[in-house]
């Protein structure tokens, strides 16, 4: 039995914690909201984020960070990008007091605003090296709503430390949830962030009334952009064609369970970004990531016309129809 603390009781943190607890591991789910911990422990529900789900009674929630991480082997951070540093600082304080070293994993899909750092880079800055034995990412096509009802799911666990990745692989895998490992932390994190931008675009196409041809074109041409930026930044090309790359691009770009996709649909139906954000009540990582990647693309001198179009819609009030017309009017070219 492995001891694991999951930080963040939103939809994905709860689903991952529930999976590990169902697998028989000692799981403490940390939330900054004491009332939510009481609800999870007493009623085995998380009505705000997974309203249909009944959680395993084996899952223990707490709002006490020290109790959550005491004697655990793994800490898995699953808070939104904007909360990563704040939560990691709290974690570092507690680990310092406990003189405790952990495998530090995360399942967040984004890039930091302003610095454009990957999540593991932020974690490495906040949690001193002697308090973490490895950095690991859980990525791949995995909507919490599907995982919690035991729909078949495969994810990828990326780390330079194969043993650490394998431990998390064992903790999470079961008959309906299959985890693979890979060695590409950078690529697994980067592609996870990039696909959220595409999901906004894909949802927007459906909101506007376009069909599967349009979505297939968008996803495939976005893959070209993801490849170009990924290679420029040092990702392994193979990762793009694995679960953390194309796998996540497909699920987020096609499934209404994706918040990014639903946000795009709302934009396509004529709502404003403020309206779709308010309606969602959950994190839409792709909005901030679009800005980060738009800036990044210029730094790395990578041509990303789809990302640029979505940036112009989100940040420069360009009408969606105009953005699509401009993309379709680009000079004709060869695919290869
Ligand atoms: N949902 C999914 O299916 C998947 C999500 N992910 C990724 O996981 C990450 C988390 O997403 P998800 O769980 O869906 O997000 P949700 O919006 O469902 O939940 C976010 C959670 O983080 C908490 N939180 C927010 N700010 C802080 C803070 N400063 N300190 C502590 N806790 C905080 C929220 O608490 P409160 O309720 O109090 O605001 C809430 O519990 C994202 O990067 C997402 O891309 C990855 C794969 C699948
Ligand atoms: O990353 C996800 C599924 O793999 C979740 O995507 P959303 O954040 O768009 O819901």
Tell me how far the alpha carbon of residue 6 lies from the centroid of ligand 2, in angstroms.
Answer: 18
Of 195, 271, 291, 333, the active-site residue reads 195
Tell me how far the alpha carbon of residue 307 lies from the centroid of ligand 2, in angstroms.
Answer: 18
Say how many Å lie between the first and final Cα of the chain, rounded. 50
Residue 333 marked ligand-binding: no
Atom of ligand 2 nearest to the CA of 141: 4
Q: Give domain 3-183's CATH number out of 3.20.20.70, 3.40.50.2300, 3.40.50.720, 3.30.450.20.
A: 3.40.50.720
Atom of ligand 1 nearest to the CA of 12: 13
Tell me how far the alpha carbon of residue 133 lies from the centroid of ligand 2, in angstroms.
Answer: 28
Q: What is the 3-state secondary structure (H, E, C) of the chain?
A: CCEEEEECCCHHHHHHHHHHHHCCCEEEEECCCHHHHHHHHHHCCECCCECCCCCCCCCEEECCHHHHHCCCCEEEECCCHHHHHHHHHHHHHHHHHHCCCEEEEECCCCCCCCCCCCHHHHHHHHCCHHHEEEEEEEECCCCHHHHHCCCCEEEEEECCCHHHHHHHHHHHCCCCEEEEEECCHHHHHHHHHHHHHHHHHHHHHHHHCCCHHHHHHHHHHHHHHHHHHHHHHCCCHHHHCCHHHHHHHHHHHHCCCCHHHHHHHHHHCCCCHHHHHHHHCCCCHHHHHHHHHHHHHHHCCCCCHHHHHHHHHHHCCCCHHHHHHHHHCCCCCCCC
Ligand that comes closest to the CA of residue 196 = 2
Tell me how far the alpha carbon of residue 284 lies from the centroid of ligand 1, in angstroms.
Answer: 10
Query: In this predicted structure, what is the pLDDT of residue 275?
Result: 95
Atom of ligand 2 nearest to the CA of 284: 8
> Ligand 1 pocket: which of 65, 79, 290 to mutate (most atoms <8 Å of CB)?
79
Structure tokens at 112: 């930091």
Query: In this predicted structure, what is the pLDDT of residue 281?
Result: 87
Structure tokens at 82: 């904007």
| Distance of alpha carbon 282 from alpha carbon 145, whole angstroms | 13
Whether residue 117 has its Cβ less than 6 Å from ligand 2: no
For 228-283, the pLDDT digits (tens) are 999 999 999 999 999 999 999 999 999 999 999 999 999 999 999 999 999 998 88
The ranges assigned to domains in the chain are 3-183, 193-328
Q: Which of 127, 16, 8, 132 is nearest to 68 (CA)?
A: 8
For tokens 């998390």, the residue is: 168
Whether residue 282 has its Cβ less than 6 Å from ligand 1: yes
Does the fold of domain 193-328 match that of domain 3-183? Answer: no
| Distance of alpha carbon 228 from alpha carbon 232, whole angstroms | 6
Chain-centroid distance of CA 289 in Å reads 11
For 162-175, the pLDDT digits (tens) are 999 999 999 999 99
Looking at the DSSP bridge assignments, the partners of residue 60 are 28
| Distance of alpha carbon 221 from alpha carbon 333, whole angstroms | 12
Tell me how far the alpha carbon of residue 331 lies from the centroid of ligand 2, in angstroms.
Answer: 33
Q: What is the CATH number of domain 193-328?
A: 1.10.1040.10
Whether residue 142 has its Cβ less than 6 Å from ligand 2: yes
Whether residue 280 has its Cβ less than 6 Å from ligand 1: no
Residues of the chain predicted below pLDDT 70: none
The set of residues, in sequence order, having a beta carbon less than 8 Å from that of 136 and lying 6+ positions away, is 103, 104, 105, 106, 157, 158, 159, 161, 164, 165, 168, 185
Nearest CA to ligand 1 atom 38: 33
Query: In this predicted structure, what is the pLDDT of residue 302?
Result: 95
Q: Active site includes 195?
A: yes
């Amino acid at each position: 039995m492995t001891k694991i603390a999951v930080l963040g009781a939103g939809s994905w943190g709860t689903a991952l914690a529930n999976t590990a607890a169902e697998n028989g591991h000692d799981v403490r789910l940390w939330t900054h909201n004491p009332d939510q911990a009481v609800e999870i422990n007493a009623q085995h529900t998380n009505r705000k984020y997974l309203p249909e789900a009944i959680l395993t009674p084996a899952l223990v929630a707490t709002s006490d960070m020290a109790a959550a991480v005491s004697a655990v082997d793994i800490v898995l951070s699953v808070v939104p990008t904007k909360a990563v540093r704040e939560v990691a600082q709290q974690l570092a304080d507690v680990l310092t007091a406990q003189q405790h070293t952990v495998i530090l994993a995360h399942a967040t899909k984004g890039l930091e605003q302003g610095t454009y750092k990957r999540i593991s880079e932020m974690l490495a800055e906040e949690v001193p090296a002697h308090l973490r034995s490895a950095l690991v990412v859980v990525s791949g096509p995995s909507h919490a709503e599907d995982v919690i009802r035991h729909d078949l799911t495969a994810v990828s666990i990326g780390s330079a430390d194969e043993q650490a990745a394998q431990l998390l692989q064992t903790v999470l895998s079961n008959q309906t949830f299959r985890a693979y490992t890979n060695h590409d932390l950078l690529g697994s994190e980067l592609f996870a962030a990039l696909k959220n931008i595409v999901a906004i675009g894909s949802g927007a196409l459906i909101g506007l009334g376009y069909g599967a041809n349009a979505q297939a074109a968008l996803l495939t041409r976005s893959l070209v952009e993801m490849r170009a930026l990924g290679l420029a930044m040092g990702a392994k090309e193979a990762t793009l064609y694995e679960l953390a790359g194309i796998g996540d691009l497909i699920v987020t770009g096609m499934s209404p369970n994706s918040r990014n996709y639903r946000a795009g649909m709302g934009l396509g139906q004529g709502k404003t970004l403020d309206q779709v954000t308010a309606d969602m009540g959950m994190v839409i990582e792709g909005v901030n990531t679009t800005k980060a990647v738009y800036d990044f693309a210029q730094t790395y001198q990578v041509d990303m016309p789809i990302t640029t179009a979505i940036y112009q819609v989100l940040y420069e009030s360009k009408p969606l129809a105009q953005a699509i017309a401009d993309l379709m009017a680009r000079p004709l070219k060869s695919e290869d």
